[in-house]
A and B are shown apart, each in its own frame.
Chain A
Amino acid sequence: MSDVLWRRWTRNAEKFPDRDAIVHWRADGCSRRWRWSELLADARRAAVYLRSQGVRPGQVCALIVRHHPQFYPLYMGVVAAGALPAVLAYPNARLHPDKFVEGLAGMTRRSGLDWILTEASLEPVVGTLATGAGSTVKGVLLPFESAWGEPGDVPPARPNSSDPCLLQHSSGTTGLQKAVALSHDAVLGHVDAYAESLGLSPEDKVVSWLPLYHDMGMIAAFQLPLALGLTLVQLDPFEWVTAPVLLLQAISQERGAITWMPNFAFNLLADRVHEEELDGVRLDAMKLFVNCSEPVRSDSLRRFLDRFSHLGVRSEQLSACYAMAETTFAATQTAPGVAPVTVAVDGPASPANRGTPRKWVSSGKPIRGCELKVVDEAGVQRPDGQAGEILIRSQWMFSEYRNNAEDTRRALRDGWYYTGDYGFTAQGEWFVVGRKKDIIVVAGNNLFPEDIEDALIGLPGILPGRVVAFGVENEASGTEEVCVAAETELEGEPERKALQLEVRKAAMRIDVTISRVYLVPPRWLIKSSAGKLSRKANRQRILDAGSK
């Protein structure tokens, strides 16, 4: 039966009025527990408020909010009002306000944002968006500064299940982010199918520190429990990264069953939690720790298992998933209750990892409604064990990047989504091994090297246009780090050190941390046959030079 989000949530509230829908977790113990009945009542109030401000069905409401207990009814109120929520990242202190507004303005034009819903502290920064030339923004609202009114008098929005229900943005650093509009059918159909793959039960609790602007946080950790009537325990991402043990404490106290996190988080937890902080913590009751959103590393899973086995972590709780916003979320998932399969491939498993033998961790099998294949450059399907680009066809697939016909044409061909990821199949399982694109994945966030290079071009000391950014795996942290190679004529050590510092500072303004700056002499960087600086070739040259 076709369904829409609000109807599904209303049914859950009728079935489980007194069950916790969301526990807004706080490290200081002052957590806010939202029961289903009160959450829906507040969401109706939020809808009344939004309508009174002029928000209309079909319009897009961008939510830029930190960890806030009223976020959840506000988000659901946007849906109740028939508008489309789009959660955007709250800018951190490193990001220069001008860069933030510039990125937001670009996103506004491209995605067609109608309203900005934010906190009072951000109003001076984003306030000008509503008046900027060519802006689609009709107003900046501060919903936590107003009373929301009484529930019940919202003119009901009656969307069709095929209508879009939310906007999801790809991650990145500027207005280059691409927006995917997902329908009610896609979100609800997907989370129902994905829940089958995970073997979830009605009493299971999701515990998550993930930010909600990320598809893993939004779809897996937020939409899935809301649609299924499960409880979500939501931590503050900023608090978690400061004190990773909070996740384990929340899981233990709330008896959580499932959590998703990128690979680096497994390392962070294994390496940075003190034993004395784990007093009383038990992790036996967990069903799944799902590793997703960046390449799954066998070493990270092993370290996590070794570190926490004394608290009840078992190999069969470890799990992996391959997912992206374009397919709503998951394309493949390992079977619950079974440790992910690992294979060692010595040959050229991937064009991106030619000749690098290593252990690959399975990302599982396609979930219901999803079909995958691996093709070579000519589009011919590859046999088992041979790597190529992964293509996906799914019932829950996006239909377009919003207002971006060019990227849509490039990515969607003959009903298949060209992921730009390299992978192979073996023993009926899917393995993701590299990327065709130059994207750098840091802690689960995609960074575009173009953005980083743009921020550095024009720095005194760097030859014009002679800079490349690329990612290099850091085994210790379990993620990639950003490196930059730049040509310079500077030869003195103090001048070169000063330039390296300036490069790092310039990247900070777009909220990117550069781990290494390689200064090279003029005409050192390699160009591709198309005459552009090649990131892959220069990355390899730098790594080769470092290994000698």
Chain B
Amino acid sequence: MITDRLKRTILLQLGLDDFDLRDDTVAGEVPGWDSLSHVTVVSAVESEYGVRFKTLDLLKLRNVGDLQALVDRYAAK
């Protein structure tokens, strides 16, 4: 389940008013979310939650659900 907070952070970074982000949504389905902007989306999420993801964790992300799980795991630390 994608929280409103994560969804808002991603859409704001991509300049989108609204987009249906689900657990299985992959970056390539979202307008503006390409390999170049991915790093800025991750930075925005890190800033929002005050966390810093490890490189290897980032490389394992497959979809928005994985990003949500990563946020939850880091925020719980």
Contacts A241-B39, A497-B17 given; indicate if A94 touches B55 (C-beta within 8 A): no
Query: Is B39 in contact with A268, judged by CB distance below 8 angstroms?
Result: yes
Report how far A500 CA is from B12 CA in the complex, Å: 16
B58: A residues at CB distance < 8 A: 242-243
Q: What's the nearest-Cβ distance from chain A to residue B11, in Å?
A: 12
- Closest B residue, CB atoms, query A29: B56
B31: A residues at CB distance < 8 A: 501, 504-505, 508, 513-514
Query: Is B56 in contact with A27, judged by CB distance below 8 angstroms?
Result: yes
- Closest A residue, CB atoms, query B39: A272
CB under 8 Å from chain A, chain B span 21-71: 26-29, 31-32, 34-40, 43, 52, 55-56, 58-59
Report how far A443 CA is from B37 CA in the complex, Å: 11
Q: What's the nearest-Cβ distance from chain B to residue A517, in Å?
A: 10
B27: A residues at CB distance < 8 A: 93
Q: Is A276 an interface residue (CB 8 A)?
A: yes
Q: Is A245 an interface residue (CB 8 A)?
A: yes
Q: Is A529 an interface residue (CB 8 A)?
A: no
Query: Is B35 in contact with A27, judged by CB distance below 8 angstroms?
Result: no
B39: A residues at CB distance < 8 A: 241-242, 244, 268, 272
Query: Is B52 in contact with A274, judged by CB distance below 8 angstroms?
Result: yes
Neighbour of A513 across the interface among B26, B29, B37, B52, CB < 8 A? B37
Query: Is B43 in contact with A242, judged by CB distance below 8 angstroms?
Result: no
Contacts A27-B55, A93-B28, A245-B55 given; indicate if A238 touches B17 (C-beta within 8 A): no
- Closest B residue, CB atoms, query A498: B17
Q: What's the nearest-Cβ distance from chain B to residue A152, in Å?
A: 39
Report how far A271 CA is from B75 CA in the complex, Å: 24
Q: Is A406 an interface residue (CB 8 A)?
A: no
Contacts A244-B39, A268-B39 given; indicate if A239 touches B34 (C-beta within 8 A): no
CB under 8 Å from chain B, chain A span 71-118: 92-94
Q: Is A473 an interface residue (CB 8 A)?
A: no
Q: Is A28 an interface residue (CB 8 A)?
A: yes
Query: Is A443 in contact with B36, judged by CB distance below 8 angstroms?
Result: yes
B43: A residues at CB distance < 8 A: 272
Query: Is B38 in contact with A242, judged by CB distance below 8 angstroms?
Result: yes
Q: What's the nearest-Cβ distance from chain B to residue A501, in Å?
A: 6
Query: Is A239 in contact with B59, judged by CB distance below 8 angstroms?
Result: yes
Query: Is B35 in contact with A238, judged by CB distance below 8 angstroms?
Result: yes
Query: Is A242 in contact with B52, judged by CB distance below 8 angstroms?
Result: no
Contacts A94-B28, A272-B43 given; indicate if A243 touches B35 (C-beta within 8 A): no
8 closest cross-chain pairs (CB), A and B: A93-B28, A94-B28, A504-B31, A243-B55, A513-B34, A241-B35, A272-B39, A242-B58
Besides A272-B39, A477-B36, A511-B34, 10 other A-B contacts (C-beta < 8 A): A241-B35, A243-B58, A243-B59, A244-B39, A264-B36, A277-B55, A497-B17, A504-B32, A513-B32, A515-B32
